[in-house]
Structure 1
Amino acid sequence: MNTAGTLSASGGGRPGAGMRADAERNRERILAAARKLYAREGLSISMAAVAREAGVGKATLFRHFTTHQDLIDAVFADRMDAYVRATEEALADDDPWLGFLRYITEVCAMQAEDRGFADVLTLTFSTAEALEERRTRAYHGFLAIIERARSTGHLQPDFASEDLILVLMANAGVISATGGDAPESWRRLIGHLLRGFATHGAPVPPMPPAPSSASLYRAMARTEQRHEGEIAKP
């Protein structure tokens, strides 16, 4: 029997190719698991939890992603691309004020859709170079968005680029506290903020409805339970 010929015909004579395919499948499983967990729980999820969700060993995970920041960089590359595109679209809007309003609302909506991304936009990752490069591009674009909006007379003259960071931090906090019980609450927050940024008489979108008292009570109760659980940890 020609063993070498049989192996070659079946593909068994090219173990490197098979290993590369297996490695790529494992990488995609890890990324899919991380996206799912980050979107649901935020960035506090451990690498061990990602490995369990992906069905791979920790050694396999660390062969693909040496650090937590490496994994975050890979998972959120497409989301950061969308963040940059939102900036570019706002700058291309014929109405600078409308572009400003849409930009704030769109970025906050991106946070609401993915708790992990809500965290990414309010943190820095010094070793995640690709992610930070996109953040820098979006930031410089936002500086131009501010100047264009201010030129219309509709944006308060004392609005500063740092105010966007405060908006994103506040929005991330609301999303974390109310996401499971009053998931549209963030829209109400942004409605109030946009009115605060606008000069008297400037056009603003209709005010979103307030969340119900019952849904906010459930969100507050859930937050209290979370805090009690954290305090009880050894």
Structure 2
Amino acid sequence: MASTTPPPRKDAERNRRRIIAAAHEVFRERGVSATLDDVARRAGVGVGTVYRRFANKEELVDALFEDMIDTVETLTTQAAAEPDAWRGLTTCLVRVCEIQALDRGLREVTLGTGRGPQRQAEMRERVRPAVDRLLARAKEQGALRDDAVAADLPIIQLMVAAVTEHTGRPDLWRRYLAVILDGLRARPGNADLPGEKELVRMSIRNCGR
């Protein structure tokens, strides 16, 4: 007679990690149209195992996005600790945009509607303290233009992600990020950026609605 005892906690956590790792691969390749069946096959577990841990695909996508927030928070914190604030800022932006360019599912989640704006807000809340420190230091060091604001950065990431999404060329974003970064540099005689800072903040709050 089969035992009805739940599997040990270590086994459950091992299965969860396997499912999330498989989901990263599947959504990276196929986007969010992939199914939980696809994830189960890649993970080498039954689909029932997936459903015991994630009631639906949205819950699994949330878990993947939480991993992404952890990654971005780590990159931003490291950038804020970099003695050369401009190098920290540009390295962080390049790394985040690189992750987006290679991950179709992440681009669709970031650029899409539905819970996209809510997820973007969660990321901004987590990384905002480190971003504020980074931008303040870059301005103090004379590298970043004075009228750049934290709300500019997620818009830049969305713009760069759209390059890959609409051209299908996974490296073309590097060209346009370089153009944007050049525009963020502090130089004598910089013309003021159009748009009030408060309007920029409002636009990022409303982005994707």
Q: TM-score, normalised by structure 1?
A: 0.63
- Cα separation, 2, equivalents of 1:136 and 1:146: 16
**Residues 93, 120 of structure 1: CA spacing in aligned structure 2 closer, same or farther, 3 A cutoff?**
farther
Residues 1:70 and 2:59 are matched in the alignment? yes
Out of 180, 183, 187, the position equivalent to 1:193 is 180
Out of 22, 25, 28, the position equivalent to 1:39 is 28
Please, which moves more after superposition, 186-195 or 144-153?
Answer: 144-153
Q: CA deviation at 1:76?
A: 4.3
Residues 1:102 and 2:102 are matched in the alignment? no
- Cα separation, 2, equivalents of 1:68 and 1:16: 27
Aligned to 1:229: none
Out of 4, 16, 33, the position equivalent to 2:5 is 16
- Cα separation, 2, equivalents of 1:196 and 1:117: 26
Question: How many aligned positions are there?
Answer: 186
Q: CA deviation at 1:95?
A: 1.4
Please, which moves more after superposition, 97-106 or 112-121?
Answer: 112-121
**For residues 73-88 of structure 1, what are the structure 2 equivalents within 5 Å?**
73-88=62-77
**Residues 156, 21 of structure 1: CA spacing in aligned structure 2 closer, same or farther, 3 A cutoff?**
closer
Structure 1 unpaired stretches of 5+ = 1-11, 202-234
Structure 2 unpaired stretches of 5+ = 189-209
Superposed CA RMSD in Å reads: 3.4
Q: CA deviation at 1:184?
A: 1.4
Out of 126, 143, 155, the position equivalent to 1:154 is 143
Tell me if structure 2 keeps the 8 A contact 1:51–1:61.
Answer: yes
Out of 144, 152, 162, the position equivalent to 1:163 is 152
- Cα separation, 1, equivalents of 2:11 and 2:48: 15
Aligned to 2:125: 136
Q: CA deviation at 1:113?
A: 3.0
What are the Cα deviations for residues 39-93 of structure 1, in whole angstroms up to 9, with x where unaligned?
A: 1233343434434544655544221102333212333444332211111111111
Q: TM-score, normalised by structure 2?
A: 0.70
**Residues 20, 163 of structure 1: CA spacing in aligned structure 2 closer, same or farther, 3 A cutoff?**
closer
Out of 172, 183, 186, the position equivalent to 2:161 is 172
Q: In the alignment, residue 166 of structure 2 is paired with which amino acid?
A: A
* Higher Cα Rg, which structure: 1
Secondary structure of the equivalent of 2:83? Answer: coil
> Identity over aligned residues, as a percent?
34
Q: Which has the higher contact order (CA 8 A, sep 6+)?
A: 2
